[in-house]
């Protein structure tokens, strides 16, 4: 059904086929939804915790029963290979089950009091209406990791999914909660262009904005929210370092590097965007990584068994092609891949990348592994920290002690030793620093802090007089 701005096609990036029509919201739709959500939220906040928890558990059961359909949408609308789609649904189920545990946790403290006869307590209360703006690359989980805890803790939600994946990242979520019995008015899904997003950020009835997306847009949202004194959660871009030390297992390291750079065509904020390798093992690492890249088939994930599907659209593929071409022109070596066919891009390994080249400085968001060679561990740290981003890093080493020591010198929100950069647990704090965002804003350990506010309450059995 069309929204205030009409409708648009949901398309398949692999073929260009139209999969359906999606309504487009405008600013008026946001205003109307915010009023409805604000009204519905009052009763929802007063609903006993076990009842809210039950809705979240039923949502998980509904998604589990219908996961095959949602996975098909992730493949056809988002360009995911089937294994990525299944993995994403597993992550979403984890988010739902973790969120279902929130409403029955303790939600306050009994405080000491400075005055006889007065009780004092601090309690967490819902914020009200939470606006969520989510991206297209992992549309289910990057929506649900905010939608589920926000609802569980007594808020209403307005979700604006990216238009590239409005069905899998928006409509499917609305359908899950509708079938789970979420009361009317608490969840509004409003796909659209810039207008509804801007309206959501500026609406006075929306108490908080949770945004996952690019750093430039995040800066604009943060500036607007700051002027309005509105709470904002920003999970932004990344240009993440995979550091390979001279004592690393190179077979394992090159596998971690390939997975970190090529999963979902490199279209992940946690992608290994910079491989920083100590000179002693660099040549062997490059050879192993290039061989892995050359063996990964690319194609339509809905029609054939492939390791990589299409990028989300040709515009994104063209930008990846630009970065690779400019980096090669600046002196880097294309050791594997580097070819574009429409929205498809072959997994690419670049050797000889320096810190001034585009593939080092920019967030590529494509299947490209730029490799920068360093002399030693100290230079590896300096090069890894040579970025405005600070989302995640990974370290490959034969010594966990050495890895931990190096990790203490890296400026990132998350670090994984003898692993790759793409890690996510629903119960672990997730977020970055610098141009990657404003801290660990996701994960059940962070949910109470993000989606509720402290309220201090004191009481006396009887009122008493004061000096005035």
On whether both 155 and 208 belong to a single domain, the answer is yes
Same domain, 363 and 308: yes
Q: Which residues are CB-contacts of 361 (< 8 A; sequence separation ≥ 6)?
A: 239, 355, 387
Tell which residue, 308, 371, 362, 370, has the closest CA to residue 340. Answer: 308
Residue 208 counted as domain residue: yes
Give the pLDDT of residue 204.
96
Task: Kindly report, residue by residue over 287-321, the tens digit of the pLDDT.
Answer: 999 999 999 999 999 999 999 999 999 999 999 99
Are 291 and 278 in contact by the 8 Å Cβ rule? The answer is: no
107-122: average pLDDT: 94
- Domain housing 180: 7-236+437-458
Are residues 410 and 445 both part of a single domain? no
- pLDDT at position 2 is 53
Average pLDDT over residues 175-201: 97
Extended beta strands in 103-174, E state: 108-111, 118-126, 129-133, 156-160
What pLDDT does 189 receive?
Answer: 98
Residues composing the chain = 468
Q: Do 200 and 337 have their domain in common?
A: no
Q: Residue 342 has which token pair?
A: 């429409």
pLDDT tens-digit readout, 228-252: 999 999 999 999 999 999 999 999 9
Q: Hey, how many other C-beta atoms are within 10 angstroms of the C-beta on 226?
A: 10
Tabulate helix, strand, coil % of the chain (nearest 5).
45, 25, 35
- Whether residue 203 sits in one domain with residue 280: no
C-beta of residue 330 within 8 angstroms of C-beta of residue 358: yes
Question: Is 353 a domain residue?
Answer: yes
Whether residue 156 is contained in a domain is answered as yes
Catalytic residue among 235, 321, 363, 377: 235
| Mean pLDDT across 72-88 | 98
Residue 249 is part of a domain; what is its CATH number?
Answer: 3.40.309.10
Same domain (yes/no): 246, 226: no
Beta-carbon contacts of 341 under 8 Å, excluding residues fewer than 6 positions away, are none
User: Could you tell me where the DSSP H helices lie in 389-429?
Assistant: 400-407
Count of structural domains within the chain? 2
Residue 422 lies in a domain: no
Question: Would 468 be classed as within a structural domain?
Answer: no
CA dihedral 103, 104, 105, 110 (to 10 degrees): 100
pLDDT > 90 fraction of the chain, expressed in percent and rounded: 96
Residue 172 inside a domain? The answer is yes
Output b/e per residue, 143-174; b: 16+ Cβ within 10 A. bbbbbbbbbbbbbbbbbbbbbbbbbbbbbbbb
Instruction: Give the rounded percent of residues in the chain with a pLDDT score beyond 70.
Output: 100
Are residues 36 and 148 located together in one domain of the fold?
Answer: yes
- 235 classed as catalytic: yes
């Amino acid at each position: 059904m069309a929204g205030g701005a009409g409708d648009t096609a949901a398309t398949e990036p692999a073929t260009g086929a139209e999969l359906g029509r999606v309504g487009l919201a405008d600013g008026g739709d946001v205003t109307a939804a915010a009023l409805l959500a604000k009204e519905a939220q009052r009763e929802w906040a007063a609903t006993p915790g076990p009842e809210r928890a039950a809705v979240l558990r039923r949502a998980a059961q509904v998604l589990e029963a219908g996961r095959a359909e949602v996975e098909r949408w992730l493949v056809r609308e988002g360009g995911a290979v089937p294994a990525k789609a299944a993995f994403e649904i597993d992550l979403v189920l984890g988010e739902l089950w973790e969120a279902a545990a929130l409403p029955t946790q303790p939600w306050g403290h009994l405080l000491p009091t400075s005055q006889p006869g007065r009780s004092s307590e601090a309690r967490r209360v819902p914020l009200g209406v939470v606006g969520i703006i989510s991206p297209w690359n992992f549309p289910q989980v990057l929506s649900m990791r905010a939608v589920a805890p926000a609802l569980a803790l007594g808020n209403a939600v307005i979700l604006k999914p990216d238009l590239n994946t409005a069905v899998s990242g928006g409509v499917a979520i609305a359908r899950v909660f509708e079938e789970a019995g979420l009361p009317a008015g608490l969840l509004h899904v409003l796909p659209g262009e810039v207008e509804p997003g801007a309206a959501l950020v500026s609406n006075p009835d929306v108490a908080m904005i949770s945004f996952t997306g690019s750093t430039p847009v995040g800066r604009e949202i943060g500036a607007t929210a700051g002027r309005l004194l509105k709470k904002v959660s920003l999970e932004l871009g990344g240009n993440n370092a995979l550091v390979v030390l001279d004592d690393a297992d190179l077979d394992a390291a090159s596998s971690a590097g390939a997975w970190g750079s090529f999963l979902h065509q490199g279209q992940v904020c946690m992608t290994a965007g910079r491989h920083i390798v100590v000179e002693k093992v660099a040549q062997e690492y490059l050879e192993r990584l290039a061989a892995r890249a050359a063996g990964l088939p690319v194609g339509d994930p809905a029609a054939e068994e492939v390791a990589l599907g299409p990028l989300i659209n040709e515009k994104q593929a063209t930008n990846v092609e630009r970065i690779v071409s400019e980096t090669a022109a600046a002196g880097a070596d294309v050791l594997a891949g580097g070819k574009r066919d429409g929205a498809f891009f072959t997994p690419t390994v670049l050797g000889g990348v320096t810190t001034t080249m585009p593939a080092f400085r920019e967030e590529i968001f494509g299947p490209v592994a730029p490799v920068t060679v360093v002399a030693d561990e100290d230079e590896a740290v300096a090069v890894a920290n040579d970025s405005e981003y600070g989302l995640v890093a990974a370290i490959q080493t034969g010594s966990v002690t050495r890895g931990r020591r190096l990790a203490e010198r890296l400026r990132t929100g998350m670090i994984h030793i003898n692993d790759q950069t793409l890690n996510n647990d629903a119960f672990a704090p997730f977020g970055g620093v610098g141009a990657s965002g404003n801290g660990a804003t996701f994960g059940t350990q962070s949910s109470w802090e993000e989606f509720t506010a402290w309220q201090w309450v004191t009481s006396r059995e009887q009122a008493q007089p004061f000096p005035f």
